[in-house]
Structures are given as C-alpha cells and as structure tokens.
Amino acid sequence: MISRKTKYGLKALIYLVRHYNRGSVSISDLAKTEQIPQKFLEAILLELKNKGLLHSKKGKGGGYILGKPPDQITVGQIVRALEGPLAPVSCVSQTAYRRCDDCRDEETCCIRPLLKEVRDAIANVMDKMSLADVVRKYGSRSENSHITYSI
C-alpha cells in the first residue's frame, strides 16, 4: 500500500503537469487546490526536488516546476523516490536486494517467486506510465479536468 505522502506527491505532480509550460506553481496554491496540508506538501516537494523530479524558483513568482517533461517522469520513479523499492519483500527487489532473514533457501522458497511476480507486475505498470499518460488516461476524472496542458 502506498503512503499518504506518495499519494499527495502524485497529486502534486499531476497538478504540475496540468500547469506545465505556464511557469512555476506556488506551494500555497497547490496545497489549497489539492487539499494537501502545506507543511507536509513542502517536505514532499523538497524530497522530489532532491531526487531530480522537480525544480524550484525562489522569490516573486517562485514555486515548483517539473524537473523533466511530463512524458519523461514515470509513476515508478515517483513511488521509488518517496517510498523506496517497489518490491513487497527485499529478496525480490532490483534496487535494494537483501536476503530475507528468515529464509533458509531462496532457490526452494515458494513465496519468493510469487512476490517477484507481484513486483514485476507493479513495476510493469508503474514504469510504463508517465505523468503525461496519467493525465491523458485518467485526467477527465478530476475536478480540474478542464485545465489543459501541452507537452
């Protein structure tokens, strides 16, 4: 299950996609529109900035913008930036592999291949779905669907 932090991060980035090529978006506007607690949002956006997914501008007209075009940022990148590996257990992680402490033999473990399939299925969806794809595919379900963007 993804955390509230990741859900808010996804909402914020989708909002930024909808405002792509219109300049930076202030944290207060984003927090108010998406109903995200501002202090929590500040921490999330800073973390995404530190991972290279966002850029910020200071001063008048400052705020956040996407660090890359919306079609070059995947949901998988965002989830990994905020949650860590997609794998449900460390022994099937591609980025943070660690043998399970209670496992006697990975080769004969019947749980590991099942959870690897789960990890692969999640990664297959999240790594192929860009922010632009999310807005194109699901954007009309949002209250803000009247906002358009160009990429």
Structural domains of the chain in order of their starting residue, each with its CATH number: 1-69+131-145 (1.10.10.10), 74-129 (no CATH)
**CA 98 to CA 18: how far, in whole Å?**
39
Residue 70 pLDDT class (50, 70, 90 cuts): very high
Q: What is the average pLDDT value for the chain, to the nearest integer?
A: 89
Burial classification of residue 64, based on how many CB atoms lie within 10 Å of its CB (0-12 exposed, 13-18 middle, 19 or more buried): buried
**CA 98 to CA 101: how far, in whole Å?**
9
**What's the pTM?**
0.85
Burial classification of residue 58, based on how many CB atoms lie within 10 Å of its CB (0-12 exposed, 13-18 middle, 19 or more buried): exposed
Q: How far is CA 142 from the centre of its chain?
A: 17
Higher pLDDT, 61 or 113: 113
Amino acid at residue number 3: S
Residue 14 pLDDT class (50, 70, 90 cuts): very high
Residue 115 pLDDT class (50, 70, 90 cuts): very high
Residue 139 pLDDT exceeds 80:
no
Higher pLDDT, 17 or 61: 17
Residue 102 pLDDT class (50, 70, 90 cuts): confident
Residue 95 pLDDT class (50, 70, 90 cuts): confident
Higher pLDDT, 45 or 95: 45
